[in-house]
Amino acid sequence: MSIAKALLLLLVAGLVAFDFITLRGKNRRGLLLEVAVFVAGAVFIVFPERATALAHVVGIGRGVDFLLYPTVIWLVRESLSSRRQRIESAEQLTQLVRAVAILQAREVGAPPHPQSDGASPQVVESSASVTA
Amino acid sequence: MASRVAILVPVRDDASGLARTLEAVRARAPELGGVTVFVVDDGSEPPVDPACLPERTSDFRVVLARHTVNLGQGAALETARQLALSAPVPFRAYVTMDADGQHRASDVRALVAAIEQGADVAFGNRFMGDSNVPPGRRVLLFCARWFERALTGLRLADAHNGFRAFRRGALERVVIRQNRMAHATEIKLRVSRAPALRVVEVPVSVRYSRETLAKGQRSTGAAAVASDLLLHYLFGDSP
């Protein structure tokens, strides 16, 4: 076995061990999927000719390309999906913080019995239902 | 006709600048026919203390809201916009203004006058006023102006000037979804895409000091603005 193969297998085993320890029994199904994917990856690391044989079946020259193409496509898709989810989460946080701010808005130094004009605390409170 | 003027002021970690700005506004409030300032504290630490703000008078009122976490100037402006629009009695004009003392309260009158004379949106133009724009900032704003022209089609001489005034109907259309500094471009985009809005530019003075330059947008912020615009164009609801 070459040094590169040994290092890659060590990396795969190390990542699985790290996730197993840090997850502490949580998200077991996700961990099982990760292990399955990593075992498949380890098989292709040790026996790269298997990947090449599979690549030839579908008309791709090299085994590494057979693995790389779908991986890159999946990673790009995952990256865009994560970005969209982050923006959606940020918008939800913004709406929540804004709703609290509007609900708690007060006129500075207002008398105890506010007048019914555009600046009274009561008016401000009534705006709490306004959303973006 | 509504008599008072609404001024929307986002602020973060600049209580002293805010107090000075509001004091200057209060001094001008009688000639404006009364002012209500909607201050949104965007997660300042410590929070803006209401006791440090100028006292209420018959012409001058302050409504203070606070974001419990920092969201960005655009988000604070949107909160102030919603607060101001939720008042049952409409204001004569809605002015957006920075809290750091860059903008002069004396210019509010000219912006409001533009709205009273028929404009729907009045953008402040610092290059027509008595401004001391540093050379580096001039170059940045020159580039930003052409970028915004290409994006919005609005032929304005100034870009990213936070001193503006709106008629109520126009402000209702300017929903701000950009939480950070890209909101200035987003406002222009929304104005350009709203049908039949009359847009004018009004000379205003923007006074730069060491403090305002330190707190204000840096040149590197331009990349962040472009990035935010692109990301929200791709994944958000921004135009």
String of DSSP letters for B139-181? HHHHHHHHHHHHHH----S--S---EEE-HHHHHH------ST
B88 touches chain A (CB under 8 A): yes
A131 pLDDT above the threshold of 50 = no
Residue with tokens 């007048």: A115
Cα dihedral B150, B153, B154, B155 sign: positive
Find the CATH number of the domain harbouring B176.
3.90.550.10
Contact (CB, 8 A) for B23 and B103: no
| pLDDT value of position B222 | 78
Q: Which of B62, B65, B179 sits opposite A94 (nearest CB)?
A: B179
Phi, psi dihedrals of residue A51, rounded to the nearest 5°: -65, -40
Other CB atoms within a 10 A radius of the CB of residue B113 amount to 14
Q: Which two tokens stand for residue B75?
A: 């988000």
Nearest chain B residue (CA) to A122 = B87
Instruction: Report mean pLDDT in 10-residue bins for chain B, 239 residues.
Output: 86 95 97 97 96 94 97 97 94 96 95 97 91 84 87 87 96 94 92 93 89 67 81 73
Task: Please report, for residues A41, A42, A128, B74, the alpha-carbon distance to residue A36 in angstroms, rounded to integers and kept in the order given.
Answer: 9, 10, 50, 46
Bridge partner list, B60 = B35
Bridge partner list, B64 = A106, B39
Residues for chain A: how many in total? 132
- Give the count of domains, chain B: 1
Domain boundaries, position B205: 5-235
Q: Coil, helix or strand for B41? A: strand
Nearest chain A residue (CA) to B36 = A119
Look at A107 and B61 and tell me if their CB atoms are within 8 Å: yes
Task: Return d(Cα B40, Cα B75) in angstroms, integer.
Answer: 9
Q: What is the pLDDT of residues A9-60, one digit of tens each?
A: 999 999 999 998 998 778 889 899 999 999 999 999 999 999 999 999 989 8
Task: Return d(Cα A80, Cα B235) in angstroms, integer.
Answer: 9
Nearest chain B residue (CA) to A103 = B65
A105 touches chain B (CB under 8 A): yes
How would you classify the pairing of strands B164-166 and B35-42? Answer: unpaired
| pLDDT value of position A128 | 36
A124 pLDDT above the threshold of 90 = no
Nearest chain B residue (CA) to A124 = B83
Task: Return d(Cα B227, Cα B168) in angstroms, integer.
Answer: 30
A130 pLDDT above the threshold of 80 = no
A98 touches chain B (CB under 8 A): yes
Contact (CB, 8 A) for A43 and A50: yes
- Residue A116 — very low, low, confident or very high, per pLDDT cuts 50/70/90? very low
| pLDDT value of position A90 | 93
A125 pLDDT above the threshold of 50 = no
Q: Which two tokens stand for residue B127?
A: 């290059």
A91 pLDDT above the threshold of 80 = yes
Global pTM?
A: 0.83
| pLDDT value of position B239 | 64
Look up residue B50 and give its DSSP letter. G
Q: In the A/B pair of chains, how many CB contacts fall below 8 A?
A: 103
Q: Which of A90, A123, A132 sits opposite B88 (nearest CB)?
A: A123
Contact (CB, 8 A) for B182 and B228: yes
B34 touches chain A (CB under 8 A): no
Crossing angle for the helix pair A28-46 and A48-57, to the nearest 10 degrees: 90
Q: Coil, helix or strand for B122? A: strand
> What is the average pLDDT score of chain A?
84
Of A60-64, A96-100, B162-166, the least confident: A60-64
Query: Which residue, A55, A89, A108, is CA-closest to B35?
Result: A108
